[in-house]
């Protein structure tokens, strides 16, 4: 029987929005979550820097943890590094990319916003998705690295300024007042969904990729013979945090941990 573990990677804690969907659908899988805080944020880094970082992490953790499935729970990394990672490893790799296709189908006004990091907004991959699945829709793009920081802040229990969230989203809404659908094309953003909904109640659909990713993981696990009744109770989930030194302050992690065991790794 293969070890039923999934390695989930993101620049920070954003990928926990994907992990919670995987845990809800597949509680029999063990999760190793890597928050690459040593290189946070990804959204303002070049494609080359992200590819190099991801290949290093996948090589190192792929070897030490031997996961059955790898999930790149980051749109910024997936839209530039997926092909390279898939060539690098024999382990199935699931990427998280902007949910433009379902959003285009859902929108009733035909006006869609895409909220992501600057990196994802500028990627050729994102523009191909729009051409392929939303060419008959009006699509407005907006990149924000501040919202990524605010999501990190929220999970550390630091109070969020709702006014600032409203201001960060305003440029998107201003460009197209008829917008009824927004793609949350950064895994940090579903963590702010409550605040977004409160700030802009006129938006009907906030669309993310979390559930689709969990279904893909469930399918890939099944393909490897991993299913609920065939598995023993998994080990406690683990959260790995990268740091350039071992000077990481454990206390700054505590609000994040929940039922995860934590470990700092030097990368
Ligand atoms: N969570 C990431 C994403 O989905 C990136 C956040 C960042 O590091 O800028 O795009």
Distance in Å, CA 198 to ligand 1 centroid: 23
The residues carrying an active-site annotation are: 74, 186
Matching fold, domains 5-96+210-264 and 100-207? yes
pLDDT digits over 131-175, tens only?
A: 999 999 999 999 999 999 999 999 888 889 999 999 999 999 999
For residue 43, is pLDDT > 60?
Answer: yes
Distance in Å, CA 93 to ligand 1 centroid: 18
Distance in Å, CA 76 to ligand 1 centroid: 5
Beta-carbon contacts of 54 under 8 Å, excluding residues fewer than 6 positions away, are 9, 72, 77, 81, 84, 85
Task: Give the atom of ligand 1 at the shortest distance from the alpha carbon of 44.
Answer: 9
Q: Point out the least confidently predicted range of 28-37, 125-134, 218-227, 234-243.
A: 234-243
Count of other CB atoms within 10 angstroms of residue 2: 11
Task: Give the atom of ligand 1 at the shortest distance from the alpha carbon of 15.
Answer: 1
Sort residue 266 into left (φ over 0), alpha (ψ -120 to 50) or beta. Answer: beta
Global pTM reads: 0.94
- Burial code (b: 16+ CB inside 10 Å, e: under 16) for 119-154 equals bbbebebbeebbeebbeebebbbbbbbebbebbbeb
Residue nearest to atom 9 of ligand 1 (CA): 43
β-bridge partners, 261? 238
Given the DSSP bridges, would you call strands 205-207 and 138-143 parallel, antiparallel or unpaired? unpaired
Q: What Å distances lie between residue 48 and 37, 51, 59, 84, CA to CA?
A: 18, 5, 17, 11
The reply to whether omega before 41 is within 30° of 0 (cis) is yes
pLDDT digits over 177-204, tens only?
A: 999 999 999 999 999 999 999 999 999 9
- In terms of CATH architecture, what is 100-207? 3-Layer(aba) Sandwich (3.40)
What is the structure's pLDDT at 258?
74
Please give all residues whose beta carbon lies within 6 A of any atom in ligand 1, as ranges.
10-12, 14, 40-43, 74-76, 117, 120, 145, 148, 186-188
Task: Give the atom of ligand 1 at the shortest distance from the alpha carbon of 188.
Answer: 1
Write down the domain spans for the chain. Answer: 5-96+210-264, 100-207
Q: 160, 146, 188: which is closest to 35 by C-alpha? A: 188
- In terms of CATH architecture, what is 5-96+210-264? 3-Layer(aba) Sandwich (3.40)
């Amino acid at each position: 029987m293969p070890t039923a573990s999934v390695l989930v990677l993101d620049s920070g804690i954003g990928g926990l929005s994907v992990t919670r969907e995987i845990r809800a659908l597949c509680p029999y899988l063990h999760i190793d979550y890597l928050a690459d805080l040593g290189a946070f944020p990804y959204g303002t880094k070049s494609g080359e820097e992200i590819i190099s970082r991801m290949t290093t992490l996948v090589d190192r953790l792929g070897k030490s943890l031997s996961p059955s499935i790898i999930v790149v729970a980051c749109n910024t990394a997936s839209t530039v590094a997926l092909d390279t990672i898939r060539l690098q490893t024999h382990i199935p790799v699931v990427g998280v990319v902007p949910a433009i296709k379902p959003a285009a189908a859902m929108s009733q006004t035909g006006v869609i916003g895409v909220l992501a990091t600057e990196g994802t907004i500028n990627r050729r991959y994102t523009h191909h998705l729009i051409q392929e699945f939303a060419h008959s829709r009006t699509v407005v793009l907006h990149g924000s690295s501040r919202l990524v920081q605010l999501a990190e802040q929220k999970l550390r229990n630091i109070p969020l300024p709702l006014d600032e969230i409203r201001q960060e989203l305003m440029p998107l809404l201003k460009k197209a007042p008829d917008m009824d659908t927004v793609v949350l094309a950064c895994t940090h953003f579903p963590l702010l969904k409550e605040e977004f909904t409160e700030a802009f109640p006129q938006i009907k659909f906030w669309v993310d990729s979390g559930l689709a990713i969990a279904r893909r993981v469930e399918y890939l696990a099944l393909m490897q013979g991993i299913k609920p009744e065939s598995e023993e109770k998994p080990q406690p989930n683990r959260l790995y945090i990268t740091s350039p030194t071992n000077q990481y302050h454990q206390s700054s992690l505590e609000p994040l941990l929940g039922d995860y065991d934590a470990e700092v790794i030097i990368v």
